Amino acid sequence: MLPAFKRFLVLLFVFALFFLLVMATRTWRSGGDLTSLIPSFLRNTETNRPEAFTPSNEPALNLSDVEIISRLNEEYARLTRAVVPSVVSIDTVGVRTERLMDFFGRSSVRSYPTQGQGSGVIVSKEGHIITNHHVIAGQNKIRITLHGGKTYGATMIGEDPLLDIAVIKIDSNETFAPLKLGDSSQVEVGQLVFAVGNPFGLGETVTQGIISAKERSLSDNQRDLFQTDAAINPGNSGGPLVNLTGEIIGINVAIYSPDRNNPGFQGVGFSIPSNEVREALEQIIRRGRPIRGYLGVQMRDLDPAVRLELGYMDGKGSAVLGTTLGAPAHKAGLRAGDVIVSYNGEIIKDTAQLISLVQRSGIGKQVKISIWRKGELIELKATISEATSPPVYSPITPEEKTKDNLLILRNIGVEVRDLTAPERALGYTGVLVTSLLPGGKAAGILQPGDLIISLNNFRISNTNEFYLHLAASAAVQATSLSVLRSGSPLRLSLPAP
């Protein structure tokens, strides 16, 4: 063997020995096992010895020890088995269009398909289903999936956008298992309830909670809602809220979520009481649409500033902002500045209550309205008509020079509505522009569909608030508006009349 090669082998051996000593020292200092330094092929390959393992064959408690809870558990399961077959999953397909503008100012329209999911509940043997209006609004195709997985098409029967209720019918001559609409007036705070629906498209899901509060209001349209802590998530909309006997006491409609882009349950959900749902259902089945009373009066709540302005010190009632020409309120003699104290003998606490009473009044019914006018109580009579369209202000004439609130608002010429429950559930606030009076100050500045968020940097929450502050501002100055138009924020100014 060559001397050079021998020296190489010696150096290689010394290096390997030194490397092993260093690795052994590090392993020993770190508390490791020195056998880990032995190559795996030199180790003993014998399998590990079995561990001693003795599982328990007895439960922690006998059923006799938790008899009440076990009975309650079985009753919950029995209730679920009875209710779930009547709850359906709803899948919708529609088409949404948007207008695009190119660099040269030319416009074009683009259409793209949309899909949605929700829940519903069968309320007749013929296959009538109640769901939320926002679940099926603007959709071209509706598909229903029953508990067993069978699917059907469905046809729209009627809708109530104000209440956010729609009635659809399964396209089949089969007989279906309906749930009964219960009496929501008997519901108590603290009562156990179950929410059933199709959250996130997962299929039938049951959650349990209590009625947290009653008479919650998301807007002047969505009033007297039940609040519950039973988990309600996106996709639960339109599903039932049931009591311990499986009766529908509410239709789930909205949740509170601080994240508008990724809404999730925060322990606060809302349901439309079943009595209001039943009323809408019966009207839709009979006439294809809801029938509501109409008075034709703009109202505002009596906050301290309003009471001081009017000289009215009582806390109850609702102040008249203006009336629509030709409407029942105008014919009855109501004027701006009046305070409605009672309606058909019922004392008025706030504007939402008055709106509710008017809408529930029979068409053609004559009602007694007690008003306060400049320190005097006056009895008026009005004949309720049907609410068919939003009120329209008539143009102002040259002879009308007085700057009362109604004339100012006529001159501005903007009609707004409150946001619906689904719109508020997405985190939006303010009022939505519905129409503009030709020749009004707002024409050419505002557009239908604009979301008015604030007025003179004061955030707007409802129509009454908007009209009140607009009338007060426009009487003396130009009015600054913060507006959201097609997703883009704008700052607009309305000139004083």
The burial of 442, by beta-carbon neighbours within 10 Å (0-12 exposed, 13-18 middle, 19 or more buried), is given as buried
| Set 184, 237, 257, 271: catalytic member | 237
229 noted as active-site residue: no
Q: What share of the chain is helix, strand, coil (3-state, %, to 5)?
A: 25, 35, 40
Residue at 25: amino acid letter: T
301 noted as active-site residue: no
| Set 128, 133, 134, 330: catalytic member | 134
Compute φ and ψ for 147, nearest 5 degrees: -55, -40
147 noted as active-site residue: no
CA distances from residue 110 to 93, 102, 141, 449, 482 in whole angstroms, order as listed: 17, 12, 20, 19, 28
Report the C-alpha gap between 254 and 135 in whole angstroms.
Answer: 11
- Structure tokens belonging to residue 100: 């695009």
Q: Residue 382 pairs with which residues in a beta bridge?
A: 367
- Is 483 strand, coil or helix? strand
Q: What DSSP string describes 433-469?
A: EEEE-TTSTTBTTB-TT-EEEEETTEEP-SHHHHHHH
Is the Cα torsion angle 280, 423, 229, 214 positive or negative in sign? Answer: negative
What residues are annotated to the active site? 134, 164, 237
